[in-house]
Amino acid sequence: MLDETAKGVFTIAVTPFLPDGALDEASIDSMVAFYEDKGATGLTILGMMGEAGKLSAEESVTVVRRVIARASVPIVVGVSAPGLAAIRALADTAMEAGAAGVMVAPPAALRTDDQITGYFRNVSETLGKTPWVLQDFPLVTGVQMSPKVCLQIFAENPSCVMLKHEDWPGLEKISALRRAEAEGARRVSILCGNGAQFLPEEMLRGADGAMTGFAYPEMMAEIVRLTGAGEVEAARDLFDIYLPLVRYESQPGLGLAIRKYTLARRGAIAHPTVRKPAPALSDATIAEVEALIARQEGRLSART
Amino acid sequence: MLDETAKGVFTIAVTPFLPDGALDEASIDSMVAFYEDKGATGLTILGMMGEAGKLSAEESVTVVRRVIARASVPIVVGVSAPGLAAIRALADTAMEAGAAGVMVAPPAALRTDDQITGYFRNVSETLGKTPWVLQDFPLVTGVQMSPKVCLQIFAENPSCVMLKHEDWPGLEKISALRRAEAEGARRVSILCGNGAQFLPEEMLRGADGAMTGFAYPEMMAEIVRLTGAGEVEAARDLFDIYLPLVRYESQPGLGLAIRKYTLARRGAIAHPTVRKPAPALSDATIAEVEALIARQEGRLSART
Amino acid sequence: MLDETAKGVFTIAVTPFLPDGALDEASIDSMVAFYEDKGATGLTILGMMGEAGKLSAEESVTVVRRVIARASVPIVVGVSAPGLAAIRALADTAMEAGAAGVMVAPPAALRTDDQITGYFRNVSETLGKTPWVLQDFPLVTGVQMSPKVCLQIFAENPSCVMLKHEDWPGLEKISALRRAEAEGARRVSILCGNGAQFLPEEMLRGADGAMTGFAYPEMMAEIVRLTGAGEVEAARDLFDIYLPLVRYESQPGLGLAIRKYTLARRGAIAHPTVRKPAPALSDATIAEVEALIARQEGRLSART
Amino acid sequence: MLDETAKGVFTIAVTPFLPDGALDEASIDSMVAFYEDKGATGLTILGMMGEAGKLSAEESVTVVRRVIARASVPIVVGVSAPGLAAIRALADTAMEAGAAGVMVAPPAALRTDDQITGYFRNVSETLGKTPWVLQDFPLVTGVQMSPKVCLQIFAENPSCVMLKHEDWPGLEKISALRRAEAEGARRVSILCGNGAQFLPEEMLRGADGAMTGFAYPEMMAEIVRLTGAGEVEAARDLFDIYLPLVRYESQPGLGLAIRKYTLARRGAIAHPTVRKPAPALSDATIAEVEALIARQEGRLSART
């Protein structure tokens, strides 16, 4: 079961599809193996970048069961939904199938501090004993949670064990939460998102790792290791080699298609298909990705 | 099957719950009978005011089947969802169960005209032969569709047979669409929402009826009849009697709880329960509703 | 100077223009006389419905000076702006010209409770001793202030003397604020907006009056008087006569043009011009307004 | 006068303030000299990152006049405002003072294609012969303009001579516009924003340069030169050295304070002051900036 000590790299997994848009179950297996091989200490499935919204309820269950059956690391399942009944239904299925915990983002309509904390009290009551991750992603949800609100959620809901941090900018938020903990607040795990664009700084501010889906999880695993070992300059050197592609993959709207292209190129999944409605990658975009990967590989070789 | 000739009052049905939040299936039966008795020519279920977002996928299917089993009028099923797979899954279930058609609102992220028309081409392809209703509700979805965009959607997708009109203000949109039809555009049915706040004017602009859930469907049925018969002043006289309550029930956030209170008071459903998270009606609110109903009943009696 | 005891009807004044879009200064004079004659106990100028955003800085100053020169009632000046420097500049000009106070709405980007209260501390410091009105209008600003946040703003900023209440729905907010005051919180004046759609209920919940621009201020003055005198049924009877037009004038986007049409028809201003970009009233809309006014006048006559 | 042939780097200038928040006019002089020395071929003032919204109308005029008096390169003045009268007032002042053109972003409320093109027809008519730049920044404005809409704006308004491109992602938009031009559409200048995060790719897609405010304009000037000379790998090598800081300065909310800190550190302005309300830089943030600059300088030295 997921708890406050979780650390490392929980990769946000994609959902693989066949060229016709059907679930590609074989690629689920190869993808899980790929992520684990590249250093993932956990996987998060059915997140926004897992195209959760594009799956039917039945398909979601298929993905959950297949991933859990293959994985040897803990699995977190995204269960965000417009209503509590759908959250409970998927969470129950996931936990029965062997998930380590679930993740919930706030619905877009929430505005005031009281609305937000009230919503998560309802969520926590709905989930019962299931450990859950608070997803803080204002760029997409439009919901802004101050450190004070996050701390209140952690205090009121002991089964909330982790913050998926992707406020942007959010470095000060990590520092504020860690300061509050030093003064007695309950400590939770903080794993960071945003495509790893700020991972070195996030680790130095006190994060426990990454929860994001950049197509080279080995970079994230190594940054976590190096910063943990105090080798900050080595971490930055490595990060800078990957940064041009990290940046390119972080483009809203297009980023997932770029990520799936790269994962298919690396053999993690069989097809780069993104489910409709989705943008197709133009030849120009593919050429840009290839140029960035070639430069990245060249710089990695030059290092050794 | 629903088609472009639909008219009258398609009541937006609530979803009845027991005091503990479970589905109240017995009240589904009484509610269907109530709506039909009060003049509904159709029912629309699993809409926003039907708390569709708060149901699990399984509960949605239960509601669809129960309503269709009891009803003698055509049933439209709201199938809006973040992705096409979920739309298809519920639409297929609904049509197999005997629904007359489905209704789809645009997801909140759509902005440009091309994004909107592209989305509905995908929806229409996904739905196949199923007749569908375009829900135009910018106050909630944030998506604004100009008359030009609506007309393009109707032209490109023959299976789109109806507009659920609740742009606000939207009287000019009705006129613009009817003018375009007079000049050769394909005619669709227009049923109007927004709690019936503008029903007399909407009918005079060319609407075919109402699709909204005001707790007195008999008022809407009578307005449709009177305006159709050219008895405009009589329609306005009747409308004005109900308007204070129409207005009160149209309050965002609180409106559904008020509507369910009134429906329970009228015996249509057994309990006024709104599923969590939901506001409770204060004593002051209940007193206001009661005062408005008492005055409404007084004025209706005085008429005869 | 405006203070916490303000009550009655502070009419939201329009800004009159000539047909070519230039300021119509002569109509400012007639409009002020009209509003005072119809029972306004104050005027609020340069609000959203005063087309403040469409005026140059110089024109704003002209309007402020002309209105204050003619009026015998206290004048509140809307000074909302993206930055504090512009707020201070207009507030200083207004107070030097003899305004009673100013009004400030939160910028649309504010989300968390702390952001909102922090913003208004900055505003209050910027305004110095100038009394100010907190405008709470989430439908337009997108900023939601819970009763707790409002109370904190009142407590922290003694120069904030009034709430322009147009949360929607907001009846519970009035009750919550009045309850808090009964338990010791500082009392401020509450004047209600939203085109007077809920004025009888607002008065019974504890509001001190109206601050909105419905084209028949005499109705609002009379409702305030009647509810104050305990003549609730008489207040409702009067309100119901005007409600069809209140509703029609409350249409977003189109409402101001309808209001100016009515004010021009009543002789308050010379021209119904709304500054570009603005919708023109169609013949159908004008016919609908005329029909509503005719019915309203008929029912008023029948009363006497 | 600005025209369609503009290219190179139009730096988005900051507005310098003294520690107490007053305008720092002496720093305007040093800043203009700094930008020109570092390769700016133009300056854009009173943009969003120029804190335009925080200036009074009078202060805006002071900034415009002072910058133009000192600069030898063309000056573009941001004139976005809620209404056309304010746009005209500032544009007229700017052009009389010797500006080369003005820049206008769409107001946040615009949604449909027709609303957007209609708005800019009004803007263009208001501006008369003044050349203007269309600012396309959906991340901040919320307004999305498809390539089709941009092309219509360019076709309808000959005085629109430039696109400030900061759609994100927007590489495909550049390609789409250049393709349309190849097929006969009117060509406009495209300068790119977004803090230069995608500058190499943007230049290769057909952009004419950059219009953004990264604190090292010499990098942008060199990227423009190198890509223009076909030295793509050299451009990427240089870009990659600056990218960690480009990324760090691109953080929403905090980015401007980081930029001003860096500019003050480089001697371009005397103080890093951002006007209230504004975030203060924490010690941790300053240490991060310093670490990034030290690494950047090290890598630049190692190159030579």
Looking only at the bridges linking them, the beta strands covering B42-45 and B75-78 are parallel
Distance, CA of B113 to CA of B118 (rounded, Å): 8
Report how far residue C211's alpha carbon sits from residue C63's, in angstroms, rounded to the nearest whole number. 19
> How far is A112 from A168, CA to CA, in rounded Å?
19
Beta-carbon separation of B112 and D143 below 8 A: no
The answer to whether B275 contacts A119, with C-beta atoms less than 8 Å apart, is: no
**Cα(D300)–Cα(C78) distance, integer angstroms:** 53
Stretch D245-260: mean pLDDT:
96
Partner residue facing B146 (CB), from D114, D143, D146:
D114
Looking at the partner chain, which of D84, D119, D276 has a beta carbon nearest the beta carbon of C54? D84
Model confidence at C303: pLDDT above 90:
no
The complex's ipTM works out to 0.97
pLDDT tens digits for range D108-152: 989 999 999 999 999 999 999 999 999 999 988 999 999 999 999
Find, in chain C, the residue whose alpha carbon is nearest to that of A145: C112
Residue C140 CB-density burial (10 A; 0-12 exposed, 13-18 middle, 19+ buried): middle
pLDDT tops 90 at residue D169: no
What's residue D234's pLDDT? Answer: 98
Helix (H, G, I), strand (E, B) or coil at D9: strand
Binding-site residues from annotation of A for pyruvate: 211
What average pLDDT does the structure give for chain B? 97
Q: Per-residue DSSP letters for D60-120?
A: HHHHHHHHHHH-SS-EEEE---SSHHHHHHHHHHHHHHT-SEEEEPPPTT--SHHHHHHHH
**Whether the predicted pLDDT of D284 surpasses 80:** yes
Q: What is the pLDDT of residue C253?
A: 86
pLDDT for residue D30 is more than 80? yes
The residue-averaged pLDDT of C82-102 equals 96
Tokens standing for B21? 């939040």
B198: chain C residues, CB-CB within 8 Å = 247-248
Residue type, D194: N
Provide, rounded to the nearest whole percent, the portion of chain C with pLDDT above 70. 100
Q: A82 to chain B nearest CA, in Å? A: 5
- Cross-strand pairs, B283: none
Nearest CA in chain B to D138: B111
A and C: number of Cβ contacts within 8 A: 28
Q: Which of D300, D242, D291 is nearest to A236 (CA)?
A: D291
Torsion region of A253: left, alpha or beta (phi above 0 gives left; psi -120 to 50 gives alpha): left
Under an 8 A CB cutoff, do C112 and A114 touch? no
pLDDT for D155 equals 98
pLDDT band of C107, cuts 50, 70, 90? very high
Secondary structure class of D128 (helix, strand, coil): coil
For residue B190, the tally of other CB atoms under 10 A from its CB is 27
Q: C243: which chain B residues are within 8 Å (Cβ-Cβ)?
A: 240, 243-244, 247
pLDDT of A215 > 90? The answer is yes
User: C160: which strand partners?
Assistant: C132
The DSSP bridge partners found for residue C133 are C103, C162
Which residue from B78, B71, B83, B81 is spatially nearest to B35, judged by alpha carbons? Answer: B71
Q: Which of D112, D143, D148 sits opposite B146 (nearest CB)?
A: D112
Q: Specify the DSSP element, H or E, that contains C191.
A: strand C189-192
Q: Which residues in B lie closer than 8 A to residue A84 (C-beta atoms)? A: 54, 275-277
Pairwise CB contact (< 8 Å): D84 & C276:
yes
For residue C278, name the pLDDT band (cuts at 50, 70, 90).
Answer: confident
C-alpha B79/C-alpha B59 separation (Å) is 13
Q: Coil, strand or helix: which one is D154? A: helix
Question: Largest Cα–Cα distance of chain C, in whole Å?
Answer: 54
- The H-or-E segment that residue D237 falls in is helix D232-249
Residues C153-179 have pLDDT tens digits of 999 999 999 999 999 879 999 999 999
Whole-number pLDDT of residue C38:
98
Q: Is B183 exposed, middle or buried (0-12, 13-18, 19+ CB in 10 A)?
A: exposed
Q: For residue C79, what are its two tokens?
A: 């000074």
Calpha distance C31→C24 (Å, rounded): 11
Question: pLDDT tens, B184-235?
Answer: 999 999 999 999 999 999 999 999 999 999 999 999 999 999 999 999 999 9
**A73 φ/ψ angles, rounded to the nearest 5 degrees:** -100, 165
Disruptive mutation site among D111, D114, D143, D153 for chain B (greatest number of B CBs within 10 Å): D111
CA dihedral angle for residue C228, residue C231, residue C237, residue C241, rounded to 10 degrees:
-30
- pTM to 2 decimals? 0.96
- Chains with 3 or more CB pairs closer than 8 angstroms to C? A, B, D
pLDDT category at C277 given cuts 50, 70, 90 is confident
- Chain D CB contacts of C276 under 8 Å are 84, 122
Contact indicator for C43, C58 with CB cutoff of 8 Å: no
Residue A304 has pLDDT above 80, yes or no: no
- Helix, strand, or coil (residue C18): coil
Q: How far apart are CA B121 and CA A51, in angstroms?
A: 20
Q: Could you tell me the end-to-end alpha-carbon distance of chain A, in angstroms, rounded to an integer?
A: 39
Q: What is the mean pLDDT of residues D21-28?
A: 98
Element (H, E) at C135: strand C132-136
Cα of D162 vs its chain's centroid, Å: 12
Cα distance between residue A193 and residue A81, in whole Å: 20
Q: What is the DSSP string of A285-296?
A: HHHHHHHHHHHH
- Tell me the two tokens of residue B271: 């309990």
Please write the tens of the pLDDT for every residue from D32-43: 999 999 999 999
- C-alpha triplet D55, D60, D63: angle, nearest 5°: 115
- Kindly state the average pLDDT of the residues B142-155: 97
**Residue A19 CB coordination number (10 Å):** 10
DSSP chain A: ---TT--EEEEE----B-TTSSB-HHHHHHHHHHHHHTT-SEEEESSGGGTGGGS-HHHHHHHHHHHHHH-SS-EEEE---SSHHHHHHHHHHHHHHT-SEEEEPPPTT--SHHHHHHHHHHHHHHHTT--EEEEE-HHHH-----HHHHHHHHHH-TTEEEEEE--SS-HHHHHHHHHHHHTTPPP-EEEE-GGGTTHHHHHHHT--EE----S-HHHHHHHHHHHHTT-HHHHHHHHHHHHHHHHHHT-TTTHHHHHHHHHHHTTSSS----PSS-PPPPHHHHHHHHHHHHHHHHHHHHH-
Q: Is the bond leading into B272 cis (omega within 30 degrees of zero)?
A: no
HEC string of chain B equals: CCCCCCCEEEEECCCCECCCCCECHHHHHHHHHHHHHCCCCEEEECCHHHCHHHCCHHHHHHHHHHHHHHCCCCEEEECCCCCHHHHHHHHHHHHHHCCCEEEECCCCCCCCHHHHHHHHHHHHHHHCCCCEEEEECHHHHCCCCCHHHHHHHHHHCCCEEEEEECCCCCHHHHHHHHHHHHCCCCCCEEEECHHHCCHHHHHHHCCCEECCCCCCHHHHHHHHHHHHCCCHHHHHHHHHHHHHHHHHHCCCCCHHHHHHHHHHHCCCCCCCCCCCCCCCCCHHHHHHHHHHHHHHHHHHHHHC
Q: Among A89, A122, A277, whose Cβ lies nearest the Cβ of B277?
A: A122
Q: Which residue of C has its CA nearest to A146?
A: C112
> Which residues, at least 6 apart from D137, have a Cβ–Cβ distance to it below 8 Å?
D48, D105, D164, D166, D167, D193
* Residue D256: predicted pLDDT: 97
- Tokens 């983002």 locate to A105
CA neighbor of B123 nearest in space, from B136, B112, B113, B133? B133
Residues 6 or more apart from C158 whose CB is under 8 A from it? C186
CB contact under 8 A, A55 and B119: no
Residue ranges of chain C whose CB lies within 8 Å of a chain B CB: 168-169, 171-172, 175, 197-198, 201, 204-205, 236, 239-240, 243-244, 247-248, 251-255, 279, 282, 284-285, 288, 291, 295
Reported as a single tens digit per residue, the pLDDT across C195-215 is 999 999 999 999 999 999 999
Residues in chain A with CB shorter than 8 Å from the CB of D247 are 197-198, 243, 247
The rounded distance, in Å, linking the Cα atoms of A189 and A76 is 14
Q: Is the pLDDT of residue B169 over 80?
A: no
Q: Which residue of C has its CA nearest to B197?
A: C247
Average pLDDT over residues A143-170: 96
Measuring CA to CA, which residue among B251, B241, B239 is closest to residue C201?
Answer: B251
Q: Which two tokens stand for residue C210?
A: 């109206």
Residues making up the binding site of A: 211
pLDDT in tens, B234-262: 999 999 999 999 999 999 889 999 999 99
| pLDDT > 90? residue D159 | yes
**Mean pLDDT (chain C, rounded):** 97
Q: Are B133 and B165 in contact (CB under 8 A)?
A: no
Looking at residue B11, what is its pLDDT?
98
Q: What average pLDDT does the segment B46-74 reach?
A: 96
Per DSSP, which regions of D170-282 are E strands? Answer: 189-192, 209-210
Numbered residues of the known binding site of C for pyruvate = 211
pLDDT at position D109: 87
In terms of Cβ atoms closer than 10 Å to its own Cβ (0-12, 13-18, 19+), residue D185 is middle
Q: Over the stretch D207-232, which tens digit does the pLDDT of each residue have?
A: 999 999 999 999 999 999 999 999 99
pLDDT digits (tens, 9 = 90+) for B260-280: 999 999 999 999 999 998 888
| Surface-to-core class of residue C271, CB atoms within 10 Å of its CB (0-12 exposed, 13-18 middle, 19+ buried) | middle
Q: What angle do CA C128, C58, D80 make, to 5 degrees?
A: 90
- pLDDT surpassing 80 at residue C304: no
Please check the confidence at residue D55 and state whether its pLDDT lies above 80: yes
Q: Largest alpha-carbon pair distance within chain A?
A: 54
Q: Which domains does chain A possess? A: 8-229 (3.20.20.70)
